[in-house]
Structure 1
Amino acid sequence: MKPPSDTRRPYGGNTRALVIALDVGTTFSGVSYAILEPGEVPKIHGVTRFPGQEHVAGNSKIPSVMYYDKRGAMQAAGAEAENASVLSQAEDEGWIKAELFKLRLRPKTMKLQMNGMQLGPLPRNKTSVDVFGDFLAYLFQCTQNFITDTHANGRALWSAVQHDIQFVLSHPNGWEGAQQTKMRRAAVYGGLIPDTDEGKARIRFVTEGEASLHACVLNGLAADVLSNPSRHGFLVADAGGGTLDISSYAIRGTTPLVIEEIAPPDCVFSGSVFVSRRARAFLQEKLRNSKYGTPDALDHITKRFDETTKRLFRDHNDLQFIPFGSPLDKDLSVGIRGGQLKLTGAEVAEFFEPSIEAAVASIRSQIEASQGVVIAHVYQSVWLVGGFAASPWLFSQLQERLAPLKVAVSRPDSQTSKAVADGAIGFYSDHHVSARMSKYMYGVEFLREFDAQDQEHVARKNRLCELPSGPKLLPDAFDCILARSTLSVFEVEIWCYRGGNTIPPWILREAEEFSTLCVVRADLSPLSGSAQPKQGKNGKTYWTIVFSVEIHFGLTEFRARIKWVDNLLWLTWTFHATGKDEIVGHIP
């Protein structure tokens, strides 16, 4: 295969530019960026120096943690939020710790299994979007400081590009338009972009699965797969703190590199944080009658489990120890001796088990959904990336359990935890993925002509309406987009159906399988000249205009355009998603 740099295209812009990828993770976050020079292949840089961890050379991730005071003002973030002096001040002054805040943005249809634990309270006068925006602002400031301090003439560089910086925000595969809208609003709140159409257009979105794919390409992983276009697919499994994001792809060309998504991407809440949650629930019961069973002690022991035992665990037959205290800490009744808590390997394996089962089930589903592209006749590849990928136990268990499916699991030697941030820059620059699969069905409500012989129609008879043209119609039918009668403001809801592969005939507004994806809204008054008069029932005149709304689902965020007939010509107008859960615009 060609070296990674050979798969990349030179920047086609006319002036120097800067693109920043912000990977806000559930537990850890990172930033990558590229200075775009006209005619040159972009080089990806990582922010490797953050406040509070300057002593750790090359560390590219910081904890996704903040502290707020009682007034709701942020006082510390990232590595600084875990500094001993900050922790002491937080306790003395009653600060609120904001963590796992990314999970608050999740779609309502994605349920959390927290083992009885709840997400902590939000800071005073703050919404989940505000908190996310505060952390984006912190990452952005860290990035500015890093670039100005690291690059030659860094301050002049920043001054030249700061008003048109392009941003790429990554999110789990399961996030949808509503979550992208919240993230865009957070970027405005955090001061990354102005609250204008031009400002919002500087935000791009990419799923963590697709970003991880681009990172794998950049790192030259699985060169045999990338250099051999065939019907055989491969999977990218991004195992992070909160989610496991599984995506399936196939190579369609190598010069240039062209990759297609071959199954709807999957996303499950089974990341490493849930291993820790299960461990804490177990420890709470185990230490219930011990002096080490207090909430503060449990928090400390669980944190030490995260930092040591969870990361090193590799054999369920070996005894495991959580080093959390001094040699004087002892309670033999619960297995504590010399400041260490003893657990069996089987107990620790149980903390991991639901996450491993979810990953295996998701990969099986991807193989089935690929409709034979990822087949079991030859060994297929799963590229395991993300912070959780560093777990020896997760890696070995996936290898063992997927071997009967003739699926080989591999992970890069390079640092996998920064794959999403690097890959997001690769996505912005290279766009290797040429086709994507929709996970759900999308449609709109329309009026269906009443059929007295259809029992479902008869059951809805009380909702019949009659248009000027005469037909008796029923609302709530599920179908493709059709025009409405008003010419002032056109508005239509795009509905999402998650109930399977059979197209539903009706919209069940209270059912969990249905939800509103977004609203498409446009001022159609300039089209009035194209309206045609018609004679309706009882001789009444009504007006019609032929137009359609087209939604482009092939990108990482939705685009739409409206088409209408004027003097026998089809005219088009493209408009984009805004920060108000809608796709909106005005015809020029």
Structure 2
Amino acid sequence: MPPRPRSKYKGDKKKLVFALDIGTTFSGISYCRLIPGEIPEVNPVTQYPQQKDVSSDAKVPSIAYYDSKGKLCAIGAETSTSPIRNEARVKGWHKAQWSKLHLRPEELVKPGESVPPLPPGKTVEEIIADIMGYLYKCGRDYVEQSHQDGVPLKAFRDEDIHFILTHPNGWGGVQQARMRKAAIAAELIPDTPAGHSRITFTTEGESSLHFCLSGGLKVDYKERGGILIADAGGGTIDMSVYRRVKGGNFEEVTVPSCHFQGSIYVNVRAEEDFKSNDPRYADSIPLLVDQFERMKPEFKSKDSTYFLQFSSPGVNDPALGISGGQLEVPGASIAKYFGPSVACIVEGVKQQQKKSNIPIKFVFLVGGFSASGWLFEQVEKKLRALKITVKRLDRHGSKAVANGGVFFFLDRKVSSRVSRLTYGIEVDINYNPSDRSHLKRCKDVVTHPVSGRSVLPETFSTILKKNVKVKDLQEFSESYEQLSSTSAELQSIKCEILSYRGKAENPSWISSERDMYPVLCVVEADTSSVRRMKSYDDSGKAYYGIKFDIVLSLGLTELKAHIAYFDSVTGEKKKGEARVVFVDDVNTLQTAMDVDEDDTDGDPGRDSDHSFYCDE
């Protein structure tokens, strides 16, 4: 498929766009210079310091070495060189690899599953920051050396440089916040609102769709069929289903999926098999795995035998299949190493088809793992039986995510997405004994300490349900009230946004399945201009209240929030900015919510005097 022609850039000022793909095993960076009146070109960076093989499809290991004091000693392409590896072994440097997986959402970690530990004293944000800084420096150097057209790198001011950060489908606001923190530490952007606005997040699945479209993928919206993009990378296999709509855009059909069965897990299974051999050769396992990684793309037949050189030619052990320092590995064994990854893709497609309201006609396999002929052939054969056509671009797409990230920024072809979870907040509602569901919970009724009302606490108020089609700028809101004994305490609000993860279609009662309502983030807003209402309880004591809407926007690739309220002076409906603080652990949540240390309600992330109301 030939690449699509692109129009001249119509903007009135220069921009420089970098897309960073930090993979589990390999990373890359692509860029585009936007110059008024010129046709934009998207290019991958293909030259890195001490890189052995320079090609148009270059990428570098997502590996870094640190000394005992935590100082960065080597990173990226240089970690593949023999001198660096020898120095790391002699000096006892700590190796950081697969670091990206330490950012995984907890719910995606399977029991018993582990990843290589981080170097002592290093956080995952620090390591990701080092990789980001390395990629950005290499990207800047490449741009400066590759373009001698009178528009030097220094012509682009910092505020003209925009970054696209890609991440697996299964990641959300918490992981985005941690990646932004790493970008700030790497000095890609300053820690200011203007700096934050220079970062855009997108999923690897959506980046891969844009990569395929840039390569000439054509889909007729009249076909009423869907396409599934399967981005098979080092750590994850991301699946996203789209369909073409009028006007040339696409809409997401189902909630994208993320599976941890990428290329590294084939290595993990091979390593486990190697370890089952004679323990005398345990020290050679790392070398065997390294040799297996090099041989893996060449695997084509389970009927052939493959050999891995791991020792001197004088080492022979026929009982273990070792001859001339080589380990004999039957093709049938290698096929078993691939088996779970193949099954994962096939089953993942079936699950997406089950959730989709349209038939999936095509599967496009992209990503570095897709270059495996064996993987492609096995998946193609199994899905062909389901009448699904599997394709690869002429380019296997090992740089699909980085290049696609830039195309995503330029084209924005996805006009609507499907909400991943049900979002809402915890509220109190007035007790209504004539409501059967309330009557069942009459024992939970409490008297609110401010208003004296009889209320049912721990009630979930839904703002946006799961599996709802959300357009780019579409907003979802609900109205709430907050009460206080003094007007001064209503100058600001801090409200927890919960993400329901259970199976109920209309979740209502938090106490019924408390663990299914984790806090996603905290919305903080200035409410000093919100009109106050004075009321009196049954004893004649005055109290105050404010009414406002919490407004969520999830149509883009990052959650946004604000509040809407009636101004206390003008009486006009206004939009107030809100800060979204994502929560990744209890300590962060306690800081964000200023929780009282004496709180003994068993949930340190919640305020026992919660006073948000929702009219029912």
**TM-score if structure 2 supplies the norm length?**
0.86
Separation in structure 2 between the aligned mates of residue 268 and residue 499 of structure 1, nearest angstrom: 19
Separation in structure 2 between the aligned mates of residue 437 and residue 151 of structure 1, nearest angstrom: 40
Matched, 1:336 2:322: yes
Change (3 A) 1:158 1:288: farther
Q: 291, 295, 305: which is aligned to 2:292? A: 305
Separation in structure 2 between the aligned mates of residue 542 and residue 576 of structure 1, nearest angstrom: 27
Q: Residue 160 of structure 1 aligns with which residue?
A: 156
The C-alpha deviation readout for 1:383-411, integer Å capped at 9, x for no partner, is 00000111112111111221232111111
Change (3 A) 1:463 1:268: farther
Change (3 A) 1:508 1:339: farther
Change (3 A) 1:14 1:575: farther
The C-alpha deviation readout for 1:245-304, integer Å capped at 9, x for no partner, is 000000002x4x21000100000111010110111011101x234x3222xx10110111
Q: CA contact under 8 A between 2:521 and 2:581: conserved in structure 1?
A: no
Separation in structure 2 between the aligned mates of residue 512 and residue 328 of structure 1, nearest angstrom: 59
Q: CA contact under 8 A between 1:468 and 1:537: conserved in structure 2?
A: no
Q: Residue 42 of structure 1 aligns with which residue?
A: 40
Change (3 A) 1:510 1:323: farther
Percent same amino acid at aligned positions? 38
Q: Residue 393 of structure 1 aligns with which residue?
A: 374
Query: Helix, strand or coil: the match of 2:301?
Result: coil
Query: Helix, strand or coil: the match of 2:144?
Result: helix
Query: Helix, strand or coil: the match of 2:385?
Result: helix
Separation in structure 2 between the aligned mates of residue 514 and residue 457 of structure 1, nearest angstrom: 23
The aligned length equals 563
Q: CA contact under 8 A between 2:534 and 2:544: conserved in structure 1?
A: yes
Change (3 A) 1:189 1:509: farther
CA apart distance, 1:468 = 4.4
Residue identity in the other structure for 2:368: G
Q: CA contact under 8 A between 1:182 and 1:579: conserved in structure 2?
A: no
Q: CA contact under 8 A between 2:548 and 2:565: conserved in structure 1?
A: yes
Query: Helix, strand or coil: the match of 2:352?
Result: helix
Q: Residue 448 of structure 1 aligns with which residue?
A: 429
Q: 69, 77, 84: which is aligned to 1:71? A: 69
Q: 160, 175, 179: which is aligned to 1:179? A: 175
Q: Residue 261 of structure 2 aligns with which residue?
A: 270
Q: Residue 570 of structure 1 aligns with which residue?
A: 573
Aligned pairs (5 A) from 1:244-259: 244-253=237-246, 255=247, 257-259=248-250
Separation in structure 2 between the aligned mates of residue 495 and residue 189 of structure 1, nearest angstrom: 29
Change (3 A) 1:466 1:261: same
Larger deviation, residues 322-331 vs 459-468: 459-468
Query: Helix, strand or coil: the match of 1:476?
Result: strand
CA apart distance, 1:143 = 0.9
CA apart distance, 1:525 = 1.1
Separation in structure 1 between the aligned mates of residue 576 and residue 34 of structure 2, nearest angstrom: 30
Separation in structure 1 between the aligned mates of residue 289 and residue 512 of structure 2, nearest angstrom: 43
Q: Residue 320 of structure 1 aligns with which residue?
A: 306
Q: Residue 437 of structure 1 aligns with which residue?
A: 418
Separation in structure 2 between the aligned mates of residue 22 and residue 579 of structure 1, nearest angstrom: 22
Q: Residue 118 of structure 2 aligns with which residue?
A: 122
Matched, 1:243 2:236: yes
Q: 309, 312, 337: which is aligned to 1:351? A: 337
Q: Residue 351 of structure 2 aligns with which residue?
A: 365
Matched, 1:490 2:493: yes
Change (3 A) 1:568 1:450: same
Q: CA contact under 8 A between 2:230 and 2:365: conserved in structure 1?
A: yes
Q: Residue 293 of structure 1 aligns with which residue?
A: 282
Change (3 A) 1:512 1:278: farther
Residue identity in the other structure for 2:538: K
Larger deviation, residues 156-165 vs 556-565: 156-165
Separation in structure 1 between the aligned mates of residue 268 and residue 388 of structure 2, nearest angstrom: 30
CA apart distance, 1:510 = 7.9
CA apart distance, 1:187 = 0.3
Matched, 1:374 2:359: yes
Q: Residue 251 of structure 2 aligns with which residue?
A: 260
Q: CA contact under 8 A between 1:188 and 1:195: conserved in structure 2?
A: yes
Residue identity in the other structure for 1:293: A
The C-alpha deviation readout for 1:213-259, integer Å capped at 9, x for no partner, is 000000113x3xx2444421110000000001000000002x4x210
For structure 1, the 5+ residue unaligned runs are none
Q: CA contact under 8 A between 1:49 and 1:58: conserved in structure 2?
A: no
Residue identity in the other structure for 1:444: I
Query: Helix, strand or coil: the match of 2:178?
Result: helix
For structure 2, the 5+ residue unaligned runs are 463-477, 484-488, 593-616
Q: Residue 93 of structure 2 aligns with which residue?
A: 95
Q: Residue 443 of structure 2 aligns with which residue?
A: 461
CA apart distance, 1:541 = 2.9
Change (3 A) 1:494 1:9: farther
Q: CA contact under 8 A between 1:65 and 1:81: conserved in structure 2?
A: yes
Separation in structure 1 between the aligned mates of residue 516 and residue 35 of structure 2, nearest angstrom: 47
Separation in structure 2 between the aligned mates of residue 274 and residue 508 of structure 1, nearest angstrom: 39
Q: Residue 516 of structure 2 aligns with which residue?
A: 513
Change (3 A) 1:163 1:509: farther
Q: CA contact under 8 A between 2:310 and 2:326: conserved in structure 1?
A: yes
Q: CA contact under 8 A between 2:431 and 2:438: conserved in structure 1?
A: no
Residue identity in the other structure for 2:99: F
Query: Helix, strand or coil: the match of 1:263?
Result: coil
Q: CA contact under 8 A between 1:9 and 1:430: conserved in structure 2?
A: no
Matched, 1:426 2:410: no
Residue identity in the other structure for 1:537: D
Change (3 A) 1:250 1:76: same
Q: 211, 214, 217: which is aligned to 2:210? A: 214
Larger deviation, residues 476-485 vs 298-307: 476-485
Change (3 A) 1:280 1:114: farther
Separation in structure 2 between the aligned mates of residue 129 and residue 104 of structure 1, nearest angstrom: 9
Separation in structure 1 between the aligned mates of residue 223 and residue 572 of structure 2, nearest angstrom: 42
The C-alpha deviation readout for 1:553-578, integer Å capped at 9, x for no partner, is 11110111211123553222344646
Change (3 A) 1:88 1:112: farther
Q: Residue 22 of structure 2 aligns with which residue?
A: 24
Matched, 1:544 2:557: no
Q: CA contact under 8 A between 1:148 and 1:154: conserved in structure 2?
A: no
